[in-house]
Amino acid sequence: MICDRARHLFGACWDDELTQAERDGLEGHLASCPPCRTEYDEFSRALELTASLPRIEASADFVDRVLGRSRRATTAPDIVREAGSRWVPVAVAAAGAVLVVAALLVGSNLQWRAPASSQAPQIVRVEGPREPRFTPKPNVKPGERSPETRRGNAENLFDPDKNVEFVLGSAAVSGGRVKRDPEGQRPIITF
Amino acid sequence: MDRVAVDDPRAFPELVRRFQGRVANLVSRVLNDRECADDLAQEVFVRVFVHRRNYRHGSKFSTWIFTIAANLAKNEIRRRVRRRNWFSLDALEEMLKDRVIQLADSTESRETTLEREQLQDAVGRAIATVPEKYRLALVLRDIEGLPYEEIAEVLGIPGGTVRSRINRARGMLKHKLQPLLAKAGDP
């Protein structure tokens, strides 16, 4: 056994995790290599000193002080039992994000008005569209959309000359998804 | 712990009495500061009390409480490092004390100067100078005697990393204690 290998085994030897073959090899090496023998003696002495350090006891009034501080502390909420309530802020945030994206979607063609009250009914009210949502060009095969159609699809939803009002509640938009047209870079919202 | 979670008034004091020694010893050995360690150990139990209903039964209670203790100790070490970076008087005093002890250790014979308490003090200081992430693993293994698997759980790192950190920490400790060990080996 070479010195590097022997020294690599010191920790496992101390933890009594060597196989019999490793132990025999290490002991044989230590018997024939004084520098490694010294190294191992110092290693084990250092760990003996560490392990033999006296236990440090807590102060005499430790329990009383802990109990006093604990009485003043507020119990943390039971996250296991109240796990469902943790989703409420997430849902609200998601609904808010959808509203922001919807506002961006309509951009200059749409004037957004906030609901009249926070107790607004959970409905979606849209004026328009006047035109069909999707009008395939004659030279486009059925089931295929031309780039022009894809780009214009969001605009075709509403009459660009007319104000469109969305009244959105968090539940009404919770199933909505927003994606971007890969070519037109316009956000498309679907419900 | 189940009784603590349902607010049995006798359960929490009993739990504190049962674990106070291990927690106080762990924190003290990591910080090498008894007064601060006592305060921090109390904080460990306050955290246990505050979060008593969130204890997961999948792991041992000792693992949970050691995790809390290790995290608080880590925070304290980092706070001290930040403070030391500002060259506070406390840090300066601590550094000077380190120097004095190192000089005493290296110049005087073991029989006259390194009596038992001094030797232990020197070992405690040597442990305290091992970098934090190695020190925690070392104390949990070589002072608290935790198995590698439990240390991995407490520190939230893989078992292989625990082994390499402990090996590294032992090497550093041996190196720091080298003057003492050499003297101890003299005839």
What is the model's pLDDT at position B16?
92
| B103 & B154 share domain | yes
Which range has the worst mean pLDDT, A22-26, A100-104, A113-117? Answer: A113-117
| B113 & B41 share domain | no
| B80 & B120 share domain | no
Rounded to an integer, what distance in angstroms lies between the CA atom of residue B184 and that of residue B187? 8
Q: Which residue has the higher pLDDT, A37 or A95?
A: A37
| B106 has a pLDDT exceeding 80 | no
| B180 has a pLDDT exceeding 50 | yes
What is the model's pLDDT at position B118?
81
| Residue B144 identity | E
Which range has the worst mean pLDDT, A157-171, B117-131, B143-157? Answer: A157-171
**A91 Cα to chain B: minimum distance (Å):** 24
Q: Which residue has the higher pLDDT, A14 or A114?
A: A14
Residues of A numbered 131-160 whose beta carbons fall under 8 angstroms of chain B's beta carbons: which are they? none
> Domain end: B86, B102, B123, which one?
B86
- Which backbone phi and psi does B129 adopt, to 5 degrees? -95, -5
Write the Ramachandran bin of B156: left for phi over 0, alpha for psi from -120 to 50, otherwise beta. Answer: left
- The DSSP bridge partners found for residue A122 are none
Q: In this structure, what CATH number is given to the domain that contains residue B9? A: 1.10.1740.10
Q: How does pLDDT run across A138-172, given as a tens digit for each residue?
A: 554 555 555 544 444 444 555 555 565 555 544 44
Q: In this structure, what CATH number is given to the domain that contains residue B95? A: 1.10.10.10
| A181 has a pLDDT exceeding 70 | no
Of residues B108, B106, B30, B33, the one with CA closest to residue B69:
B30
> Domain end: B86, B120, B137, which one?
B86
* CA angle (A157, A162, A164) in 5-degree steps: 60
Q: Which residue has the higher pLDDT, B42 or A111?
A: B42
| B61 & B141 share domain | no
pLDDT-based confidence at residue B33 (cuts at 50, 70, 90): confident
| B59 & B107 share domain | no
Rounded to an integer, what distance in angstroms lies between the CA atom of residue B119 and that of residue B184? 11
| B23 & B95 share domain | no
| B162 & B103 share domain | yes
Of residues B22, B141, B40, B114, the one with CA closest to residue A11:
B141
Q: Which residues does chain A have within 8 Å of residue B127's beta carbon, measured at their own beta carbons?
A: 50
The structure tokens 């009210």 sit at A125
Rounded to an integer, what distance in angstroms lies between the CA atom of residue A41 and that of residue A49? 12
Residues of A numbered 51-110 whose beta carbons fall under 8 angstroms of chain B's beta carbons: which are they? 51, 53-59, 62-63, 65-67, 69-70, 73-76, 78-81
- The whole-angstrom distance between residue B14's C-alpha and the CA centroid of its chain comes to 23
Closest residue in chain B to residue A44, using alpha carbons only: B174
| B63 & B131 share domain | no
Which range has the worst mean pLDDT, A10-14, A58-62, A152-156, B52-56? Answer: A152-156
| Residue A73 identity | A
Q: How does pLDDT run across B66-95, given as a tens digit for each residue?
A: 999 999 998 888 887 776 654 444 554 554
With CB atoms and an 8 Å threshold, state whether A63 touches B13.
Answer: yes
With CB atoms and an 8 Å threshold, state whether A45 touches B184.
Answer: yes
> How many interchain CB pairs under 8 A, A with B?
111
Distances (CA, A) of A47 to A24, A44, B169: 22, 5, 11
Domain residues for the domain of B95 are: 88-187
Rounded to an integer, what distance in angstroms lies between the CA atom of residue A11 and that of residue A7? 8
| B63 & B115 share domain | no
| Residue B24 identity | A
Evaluate if pTM is beyond 0.80: no
How large a percentage of chain B has pLDDT more than 70? Answer: 78
Q: How does pLDDT run across B2-32, given as a tens digit for each residue?
A: 777 667 778 889 999 999 999 999 999 998 8
What is the model's pLDDT at position B27?
92
Q: How does pLDDT run across A50-79, given as a tens digit for each residue?
A: 998 888 888 888 999 998 888 887 766 665
Q: What number is the average pLDDT over the span B118-133?
A: 89
| B95 & B74 share domain | no
What is the model's pLDDT at position A120?
45
| B16 & B92 share domain | no
| B74 & B136 share domain | no
> Domain end: B37, B52, B86, which one?
B86
Number of compact structural domains in chain B: 2
pLDDT-based confidence at residue A83 (cuts at 50, 70, 90): very low
* CA angle (B125, B131, B137) in 5-degree steps: 90
